[in-house]
Structure 1
């Protein structure tokens, strides 16, 4: 997804406003990459990567253009590689019998941007891996950062990640020795309907 140090994401509650802001961002600065699109329940995300100064300039343009359509935003000048991997869909293994990964930590946030910030803070501050980063779709626009590791490390990651976005945390928790059957469910898609082949919403 990226080789440059900075990542930013703007989250809009208007699709039209998000498209307009994304256009302003890519016109303002020579970012390495711009990715955008809708998530449920009708929000619009614009993600940019590149050199720090260019990304900062693009974010300024997006915020100015998006105005009151802006729901949340993040700017990570030195994003953790684990966050980038999770955004690509990679997952750290998590199972009750996975040796050092004997705890699951969850930071649930009210916005997508907040979940990414929480994941970055937890990874930078504790010896954990990111099991997965779930964003928006199927979550009513919320985000989930799931950490795995030793209980003490996962405790630290959840505390740091949650504190980084405190006013946007829905709930944070650490589960020690999660049961194998729950690991199977957590490591799946996360959608209840997938157990019964319900069509995606």
Structure 2
């Protein structure tokens, strides 16, 4: 497996920046994002070969464990994650709406990957702790049964880290809601 992403979420900006430096020095990885998120947390998202991403994330966790909030390594992540993170998903058909909400950035990305792999759904947006006091959420759409299966899979994965806040499936959201979401 050559394609992987990893993320470590820190409670300190200074620690996060220092950790990012150490992570790229220990393994051949690229930084996708290294930035502050609410409420003053810092995330470092990297990509590269699976072994390199594992080594870098382990370094970031081990050396700065007192400031780690959450982390993950995903081998072969679903391609829809990147568009949903950047807000560039193209959604043409809107049907049921699924929502997962978590207390960490790492847990929502892991939940999104599980959801996207579980059923034929379209990821609309992954909002990571910006303007939400550190919480994150995922919006997805598709046929009702697919959305329910995806939300169940994402919910189960997010529950494993203890960072799950809430989930819901809206079978037929009103057009006024879609206009605000998309």
TM-score (norm 2): 0.94
**Alignment partner, residue 134 of structure 1:** 127
Per the alignment, residue 190 of structure 1 pairs with none
Q: Which runs of 5+ in 2 are unaligned?
A: none
Partner Cα separation in structure 2 for residue 92 and residue 172 of structure 1:
23
- Contact map agreement 1:92 1:132 (CA 8 A) in 2: no
What does residue range 64-143 of structure 1 map to in structure 2 within 5 Å?
64-93=62-91, 98=93, 101-143=94-136
In the alignment, structure 1 segments of 5+ residues that lack a partner are: 188-201
**2:174 aligned with 1:179, yes or no?**
yes
Quick one: distance in 2 between partners of 1:84 and 1:145?
A: 13
Matching residue of 2:15: 17
Structure 1 position 156 matched with structure 2 position 149 = yes
- Max Rg structure: 1
CA RMSD of aligned residues (A): 1.3
Q: Deviations over 1:86-121 (max 9, x none)?
A: 223212426xxx3xx310000001111111011000
- Which SS does the other structure have where 2:147 is aligned? helix
Structure 1's consecutive aligned runs of 4 or more residues displaced over 4 angstroms after TM superposition are none
Q: How many angstroms apart in 2 are the aligned matches of 1:108 and 1:176?
A: 18
TM value normalised by structure 1: 0.85
CA distance in 1, matches of 2:135, 2:101: 7
Q: Is the 8 A contact 1:33 1:50 kept in 2?
A: no
Mapped partners of 2:32, 2:61: distance in 1: 15
